[in-house]
Structure 1
């Protein structure tokens, strides 16, 4: 285990600028789900099932838009691909503040459809800006940056909701997301290496689906399972704090969750070998279920730590393997499909999790989210025992180490 790789990354001015931009850009994006949940249950008088449907609408929109935007990035570059997002996000958040619940559903879908693809942009840029040996550390560093944003985003969002209003928080999120899009438009990080551009072949049309493989499909499935666990914890924490009448303490619980994920990502990035995402997701699901035993702010903050330690490593490992399996010319689209897997996992699981919270209480969110992730990991483990679905030797290794 060594941490010198992080210092090497930080010494590169281009990478430093990318990480700083990603940190600030993710803060409003990570605050949005919590603010929308509180907007539905507090200002619109809805329940958690209705809030889950809003989350599902947003994630379905993002799931539809993510591959499309990833393919646009591959073909047109970042600047031309994100202009529609900058314009539409600037319009949609103000509209959300005056929409009824029925209209908020299609507005939320459009928010997801035109979501600025920060995750895909950063991971795609990192995959070409660093060597393959550095990818684990680079992706882990990005996860650490994301967790730092996560510690701040929901806490600031909750503070705005409780001290001002949910509508004001939505206005602020919309404005900040537009600024984030403009930052990436100015930075315009590379998405193709010089070698790949020089060697580009004119006849690229026949390889439209050539990057798809059984291992890649399993990685998308695992990504969806990870999102189910995260949604279970996310909605469960909010519900638990509302039951305790401690919504203002959301920063403590979210801070513990985000900080532990940050530490987990830091440690994972310093490892010399990759860990299979299947094993990490199984551990994440099993660690999420016991969070339902919490009966106070501090017990909740302590119980989310084991699950938090596994969040960043699980998502980092999945991205690392995707970058290994997919050719550079199609990597943006593949990252977009991973984004779709994340959002579909959230879209499918969030209404179920919300209904569980409404039915049995906050603990149901943790149990259902963790159980879904565990079940998906088990299915993937057993399915990968089928010979024709096993990764071939050259695709079953990271850094030349057989898994």
Structure 2
């Protein structure tokens, strides 16, 4: 382990500033989850399944919008891409706390669709500013700063909501997030390296289309009977039909070209991200439900402090390591260690039991982000990070209502068992598929 890597990395001013801006920008939304959950349960009088469903609707919106926003960052630049988010955050979250549950659902979907893409932007920019071994440390630092944020945000959100000010709290979340977006636009961190910017998307797209047209013509000539000179006479009368076929083929090839980065290895990382989102969101809801059911809402922040502090320690250790660890193995450990949280009897035992899964939280996210940056070329990395974010939030969309259904139906402790067991099953399936693929390749 080389802890000097942290000192070297923080000595780089753009990286230091990016991490600071990213950390501050994440605070409002880190409080939003707990605020929204307790607003629905305490203010609107709904159950935890309803609160989980609202969280799912919001995260589905995030999952749908993330790839589009990532592509916008790649094509029009960060500042123009953030304008819709900066406007919508204040508008949506100023209205959400004043409406009924039925109206709240479509609003939080739109809010998720246009949410400020702070996570993907920061990680995409870190992928540009840091290279080689520095990149693992940079992603670990980002995960650590995120955990520090989640020590502050959820605790503050719980205090505000239990004091009866959830309406004010949700409004402040929207305004503060918009202000954070303006700071991010002002800072404008790089999302493409200088070498990548030199070859513009328009030029590469034009070259690609030209090559596809040439290949289409060559394919027709090559497929013609007899000799090439005979093919020319057949090519002319069929030009109209061939042009139509070429257009269809060109569109199909363009789609394939645009998603050429989406390999089986990238898909596996996205599956890990989805599993991590499921386990983390289910644990989040489980902690809130366990303490709220026992009348200890004011102590929610204490459990989050232990959970996130453990993640910080795990992130520091992982970032100082010389060799990466497979994200799927880290997720397997985190999922299995989440299940014992169901046996907690009070706030202190719940806090202590959260330490072990917490240790693996930041490493899972760091390892997965590092893997995406390693597997996807820079010019497509913004879109890939957007899809990575969609996978993560898709898991969140599954984990929150899954835990909520078990909590409402059986009891608070079963939320931890449901998401932990789900994560273990996902990892075992993934490892089985990896083993099968290796055996097949070895046989070839």
Asked if these proteins are the same fold (TM beyond 0.5), I'd say: yes
Per the alignment, residue 178 of structure 2 pairs with 178
**Alpha-carbon contact 1:214-1:389 (below 8 Å) kept:** no
Over 3 Å counting, the alpha-carbon distance change for 1:378 and 1:185 in structure 2 is same
Count of aligned pairs between the two proteins:
392
Q: Please give the alpha-carbon distance, in whole angstroms, between the structure 2 residues aligned to 1:185 and 1:125.
A: 13
CA displacement, residues 86-115 of structure 1 (integer Å, 9 cap, x when unaligned): 101110011101110001100110111011
Q: Please give the alpha-carbon distance, in whole angstroms, between the structure 2 residues aligned to 1:29 and 1:21.
A: 14
- By how many angstroms is 1:80 displaced? 0.5
Over 3 Å counting, the alpha-carbon distance change for 1:156 and 1:107 in structure 2 is same
Q: Please give the alpha-carbon distance, in whole angstroms, between the structure 1 residues aligned to 2:386 and 2:436.
A: 27
**Alpha-carbon contact 1:74-1:332 (below 8 Å) kept:** yes
**Alpha-carbon contact 1:278-1:377 (below 8 Å) kept:** yes
- TM-score (normalised: structure 1): 0.95
Per the alignment, residue 119 of structure 1 pairs with 119
Per the alignment, residue 338 of structure 1 pairs with 388
Per the alignment, residue 203 of structure 1 pairs with 204
Is 1:244 equivalent to 2:266 in the alignment?
no
Q: Please give the alpha-carbon distance, in whole angstroms, between the structure 1 residues aligned to 2:429 and 2:346.
A: 34
Is 1:354 equivalent to 2:404 in the alignment?
yes
- Larger C-alpha radius of gyration, 1 or 2? 2
Q: Please give the alpha-carbon distance, in whole angstroms, between the structure 2 residues aligned to 1:78 and 1:381.
A: 37
Q: What SS does structure 1 have at the residue aligned with 2:69?
A: helix
The correspondence for 1:269, drawn from 319, 327, 330, is: 319
Range moving further from structure 2, 192-201 or 78-87: 192-201
**Alpha-carbon contact 2:30-2:149 (below 8 Å) kept:** yes
Q: Show the 5 A alignment for 1:67-86.
A: 67-86=67-86
Structure 2, unpaired ranges of 5+: 209-253
CA displacement, residues 194-228 of structure 1 (integer Å, 9 cap, x when unaligned): 11122447233643111010010011011000111
- By how many angstroms is 1:148 displaced? 0.4
C-alpha RMSD of matched pairs (Å): 1.5
CA displacement, residues 223-249 of structure 1 (integer Å, 9 cap, x when unaligned): 000111101210010001012211011
Structure 1, unpaired ranges of 5+: 393-403
The correspondence for 2:330, drawn from 275, 280, 284, is: 280
- By how many angstroms is 1:267 displaced? 0.5
- TM-score (normalised: structure 2): 0.86
Per the alignment, residue 237 of structure 2 pairs with none
Per the alignment, residue 169 of structure 2 pairs with 169
Q: Please give the alpha-carbon distance, in whole angstroms, between the structure 1 residues aligned to 2:130 and 2:435.
A: 33
**Alpha-carbon contact 1:22-1:118 (below 8 Å) kept:** yes
Q: Please give the alpha-carbon distance, in whole angstroms, between the structure 1 residues aligned to 2:262 and 2:2.
A: 34
